[in-house]
Structure 1
Amino acid sequence: MPGTPVMKGSIVTDGDHRPPAATAFDAIGAEYEKAFAGSEAHEASLEWLLGRLEPGSRVLDVGSGTGRPTAQRLVEAGHDVLGVDVSPVMVDLAARQVPGAAFRCADIHEMPLPEKSFDAVCVYFSLLQMSREEQSALVRRLAGAVRSGGHLVLATVPLDVADVEAVFMGQPVRVTSFGAEDFAAMASAAGLTVLRQDRTVFTPAHPEAIPEPHLFLYCRRAGDAAD
């Protein structure tokens, strides 16, 4: 990122601020990857993105988790990946599992996102512990951080809920989301053209898991030629 060099295989930590999500995902750690490894929709979204990236593209992975499958697939395809996550445990796992990418332990809300500094952005289920206002503001910033013609993949659990208490993989969390139509509208309001929407139901491989709806939005920065 311009003005913030990060070497591949490195971990950068921004201060001691710990959002609530950090505590939950520190505890979940590698179990998250095991639980969600079977998501065919996630794999399909990566195939879609990989088919649209120029060689050596610069990609931001927001909520990069353990680095797999997203950062790993992108690096294996020859792309330059920066993963950002609030959980130091997740960032440590990712750096060890995907040494070809760079990872930053930081709150994405506080991180500089220069205009048009990435070719693509991935946001897989990392908005759910933000308020709707925070989600909307962040997606606007991420849209601005993508070059003209660049792509974003956004994934969420499309439920019309706000700040509800829940238990996720044994950890207490507070969840906020949009319904499917409102989530797509939020992306459009951020200046993105929604090219495609995929909806599915997925049951994580975890003893306490129940089937959950998943929504994947395939987006391009608005104002560019049709896909």
Structure 2
Amino acid sequence: MTEGDHRARGAEVFDAIGARYEEAFAGSEAHRESLEWLLERLAPGSRVLDVGSGTGRPTADTLAAAGHEVLGVDFSPVMVDLAVQRVPDATFRCADIRELPLVTGFFDAVCVYFSLLQMTRAEQSALVRRLTAALRPGGYVILATVPLDVEGVDAVFMGRPVRVTSFGAEEFTALATDAGLTVLRRQSTVFTPAHPEAVPEPHLYLYCRREAGAGS
């Protein structure tokens, strides 16, 4: 199976999961806490990119409700349709973020909640660099992942087969700093999604800022 086939399968997985993803992760206090942290630092009317925006909740919804200009990008047509319905004050695009052109220094913040896990390690590193470049100097990034040292592992997520690649906590932190981000805070937690087949998952949140001259 080619990498393109894996990407198509990934979109199909999240098409099938749909609104159940939002329900399964609605109880994440760490996710809400990271959004509160970001809101405290954003100027009014900031431009925010939500990578892997899903149904639009809670990320795009929370940020748009606070008056920010939010662009959500997701490769699942079903997720994008749901987001458009749920969060009319944000803009959503059905696209692969790896292929979407990004304007240098355009965004004030970028949110990446667990949307790297179906990419290769090289793709994850390259994307975080591109996202850093798309930030204005002094802009913020929230990066969240499942910090496991796994590469190309077949797994089951909410009853659906997925291929997962990730980094351990230290390696993922290094990925962020190598991209030119300063990690201001690192939060580790364990979360169990509200789904019959779910098991406890380790979650890592990195609260980051782009310094001047980074991302080039």
Give the distance between the partners of 2:62 and 2:9, measured in 1 at CA. 28
Q: Who is 1:81 aligned against?
A: 70
Give the distance between the partners of 1:223 and 1:102, measured in 2 at CA. 28
Structure-to-structure mapping, 1:30-179, within 5 angstroms: 30-179=19-168
Give the distance between the partners of 2:164 and 2:183, measured in 1 at CA. 24
The residue type equivalent to 2:59 in the other structure is T
| Structure 1 alignment gaps of length 5 or more | 1-17
Q: Tell me, yes or no, if structure 1 residue 19 matches structure 2 residue 8.
A: yes
1:60-103 Cα distance to aligned partner (Å, 9 max, x none): 00000000000000011000000000000000000000000000
1:125-150 Cα distance to aligned partner (Å, 9 max, x none): 00000000000000000000000110
Q: Tell whether the 8 Å contact from 1:19 to 1:107 is kept in structure 2 after alignment.
A: no
Output the TM-score relative to the length of structure 2.
Answer: 0.95
1:109-128 Cα distance to aligned partner (Å, 9 max, x none): 11001100100000000000
- Tell me which of 158, 164, 186 is aligned to 1:197: 186
Moved over 4 A (4+): none
| Structure 2 alignment gaps of length 5 or more | 1-6
Aligned CA RMSD, in angstroms, stands at 0.9
Give the distance between the partners of 2:200 and 2:159, measured in 1 at CA. 15
Q: How many residues align?
A: 207
- The alpha carbon displacement at 1:53 in A equals 0.2
Q: Percent identity?
A: 74
Q: Tell whether the 8 Å contact from 1:64 to 1:70 is kept in structure 2 after alignment.
A: yes
Q: Who is 2:198 aligned against?
A: 209
- The alpha carbon displacement at 1:21 in A equals 1.6
- The alpha carbon displacement at 1:20 in A equals 2.8
